[in-house]
Amino acid sequence: MSNRTAVTEFLLLGFSDIRELQILHFVVFLVIYLAALVGNLLIFAAIALNQHLHTPMYFFLVNLSILDLGSVSVTMPKSMVNSLMNTRLISYPGCVAQVFLFFIFTSTDLALLTVMAYDRYIAICQPLHYERVMNRTACIQMAASAWISGIVYSALHTGNTFRLPFCQSKVINQFFCEIPQLLKLTCSDSYLSEVGLIAFGVFIAAHCFVFIIVSYVQIFKAVLRMPSEEGRHKAFSTCLPHLSVICLLLFTGLFEYLHPTSTSASNPDLLMGVLYAVVPPVMNPIIYSMRNKEIKAALQKLIVWRLFTKN
């Protein structure tokens, strides 16, 4: 009890104590951050300005781009500023905000990816019912449900974590505030309730993954029965990127939350943090734009239109 003090700030884990490497980290993260911003904004603009892409699949993809923009904006700028200013501090309210917002974006991301798998299942396996099932109202309700569930789930996690007393070291062994690292700093057995909530989240994520896999098994069966090679190629071009995004997000995220956290600074912890917090938002625009002809055509049309208007 004597070690329990009011925590007003935390210390994030830096990528290096060498000044030159800190500058390098700032530059690398800045390039990645700008790539994520530009990529997701281009996807958003291409879909918003192209009437042919105002369909359920691309409506959900716009929401995914918004989530990716929010996700990288929550974690990366603070890490870049710390490297540039040669500090590791993050305030207590700043840490709370990071946990709350990051959980909203990642949990909503998973819910939205599950909805997108259902959308592809209806489109390919039950095409005659697609317009009736995936109507405008249903799509808005599904997207709103994903956002609301993410906000509620994030509020539960954040409130349950920061109600705990922190009386250990203030050092968070990650470049942003995350719950597994924060739980190591608590000095109360009440943290087991948050562990239980994380276990429940893993249970839900596993069910989402099973639902997605079952949906894609049915999708691939239907695709292989298509007589047209062009139809098969179009179906695979829209499904494979989505499946790649799901696997990247789920496997890296689950590994980060399920593997035992080390009691000291660890390069693998930093690497996994980058893999599940930074890489998916950057890769999503690349995956979707490279594998989807409609997105590529819309992006080319957008770029040509911008050049034409400037000239």
Q: For residue 238, is pLDDT > 70?
A: no
Our CA angle for 156, 105, 52, nearest 5°, is: 140
Residue 1 has a pLDDT of 41
Tokens 């590994």 found at: 255
3 state SS of 242: helix
CA angle 215, 106, 51 (to 5 degrees): 65
pLDDT of residue 73: 93
Instruction: Give the Cβ contact number of residue 302 at 10 Å.
Output: 17
Q: Is the model's pLDDT at 129 over the cut of 80?
A: yes
Task: Mention every residue, 6+ apart, whose C-beta is less than 8 A from residue 285.
Answer: 36, 39, 40, 42, 43, 65, 68
DSSP three-state, residue 5: coil
Residue spans of the domains in the chain: they are 18-310
User: Rounded to the nearest 5°, which phi and psi values hold at 104?
Assistant: -60, -50
Q: What tokens does 112 get?
A: 């939205």
Name the DSSP letter for residue 115.
H
CA 171 – CA 180 distance, rounded (Å): 13
Q: Which are the contacts of 54, defined by CB distance < 8 A and separation ≥ 6?
A: 47
- Encoded tokens for 24: 């390098």
The mean per-residue pLDDT over the stretch 237-249 comes to 74
> What per-residue confidence (pLDDT) applies to 222?
83
Range in 12-26, 73-87, 133-147, 292-306 the model is least confident about: 292-306
For residues 54 and 13, give the distance between their C-alpha atoms in angstroms, rounded to a whole number: 43
pLDDT at res. 50? 79
Rounded to the nearest integer, the mean pLDDT of the chain is 81
Condensed to tens digits (0 to 9), the pLDDT of residues 250-306 reads: 777 777 666 655 555 556 677 777 877 888 888 888 777 666 677 777 777 766 665
186 or 76, greater pLDDT: 76
Which ranges constitute the DSSP H helices of 171-278?
179-183, 191-224, 229-258, 267-277
pLDDT of residue 206 exceeding 90, the answer is no
Q: Is the pLDDT of residue 244 over 80?
A: no
Question: If we measure between CA atoms, which residue out of 246, 281, 226, 294 comes closest to residue 52?
Answer: 294
3-state helix, strand, coil split of the chain in percent (to 5) is: 80, 5, 20
Weakest mean pLDDT among 50-59, 65-74, 288-297 = 288-297
Q: What is the per-residue pLDDT for 168?
A: 64
**pLDDT score for 146:** 93
Half-sphere exposure of 216 (CA within 13 A, CB side): 21
Phi, psi of 189 (to 5 degrees): -70, -5
Q: Determine how β-strand 171-172 pairs with β-strand 9-12.
A: parallel
pLDDT at 188: 67
Instruction: Give backbone dihedrals phi and psi of 166, rounded to 5 degrees, phi first.
Output: -105, 120
The DSSP symbol for 260 reads P
Q: Is 222 left (phi over 0), alpha (psi -120 to 50) or beta?
A: alpha
CATH tag for 18-310 (out of 3.40.50.11540, 1.25.10.10, 3.30.465.10, 1.20.1070.10): 1.20.1070.10
